Amino acid sequence: MNGTEFRFTGMKDKHFYKRKLPHWQPEEETFFITYRLAGSLPISVIQKLKVEYLLQKDELYNQSNEQKAILKEDYFKRFESQLENNLNEPHWLKSEALSKIVMDSLLFRNQEHYIIWAACIMSNHVHILISTLPGSPLLNVILQNHKKFTAVQSNKLLNRTGKFWEEESFDTLIRNNDHYYNCVNYIIQNPVKAGLVKEWHAWEWTYLHPELKKEFGTPVPNKSEDTF
């Protein structure tokens, strides 16, 4: 795709943290991230998906990083499909007030600690494409702070206590320009794919960076909506 070229520097200094799955987080890189509401998927479904993923990952131990990346993306697609097809509660982010809290929080430090290239808030999960900036907090710290703040504010409006977000997030490191644009397309087309709107820009809770709006003045073609 013509337009702005985004520089991907490869693996710089890496920070490792582990919850249910390992996450490598190189500094000053770009990530596609999905996080979801607590309880948005049954534990049995999550465990089944993760066991299948880890077994397949073990089989690819000596294979190329590209094959491993494809496996991880396949795991995400199955995970996303379960989220989209889950009609059970919670779907708290259907609330405009709660979606506004989440979007405002994402954009609060935008351009200061990180750059949000694209974001989309759905009823039970959120997609973002984010680049960390030099000297910024680690990505897991940024997400923890965002989740903590939005959880407190959202629970107040819901008049409830307890977990709001699932602790675990899905994240994948952007490999190159094609991968980057495929992720942008996937994020902004999510409400279209779900049948909520006909064009990506009609969804109130989609954000696209101004530089990308210059390129995508009209809706992005659907050709890559299932590929990232």
Q: Which position has the token pair 């709006």? A: 213
**Which residue do the tokens 């994020």 mark?**
187
- Answer yes or no: is 72 within a domain: no
Indicate whether 116 belongs to any domain: yes
The predicted structure's pLDDT at residue 104: 98
Q: Distance between CA atoms of 28 and 221, rounded to whole angstroms?
A: 29
Number of separate domains in the chain: 1
Q: What was the pLDDT predicted at 29?
A: 86
CA nearest neighbour of 90 among 44, 45, 41, 49? 41
34 is a domain residue: yes
What pTM did the predictor assign? 0.74
Range of the domain at 114: 29-40+92-224
Q: What is the pLDDT of residue 16?
A: 39
Residue 167 lies in a domain: yes
CA-to-CA distance for 98 and 6, rounded, in angstroms?
A: 32
Q: Which pair of structure tokens corresponds to residue 48?
A: 């089944």
Radius of gyration of the chain (CA): 17
From residue 69, give the alpha-carbon distance in Å to each of 19, 48, 74, 77, 228: 19, 20, 9, 12, 10
The enclosing domain of 201 has a CATH number of 3.30.70.1290
Does 74 map to a domain? Answer: no
Residue 154 placed within a domain = yes
Residue-level pLDDT, tens digit, the chain, 228 residues: 445 445 444 434 444 334 443 344 455 689 999 999 998 765 656 666 665 656 666 666 666 667 666 666 776 676 666 666 666 779 999 999 999 999 999 999 998 999 999 999 999 999 999 999 988 898 999 999 999 999 999 999 999 999 999 888 888 889 889 889 999 999 999 999 989 999 999 999 999 999 898 777 655 445 444 555
Q: Is residue 164 part of a domain?
A: yes
Does the residue 64 lie in any domain?
Answer: no
Alpha helices in 112-176 (DSSP H): 139-158
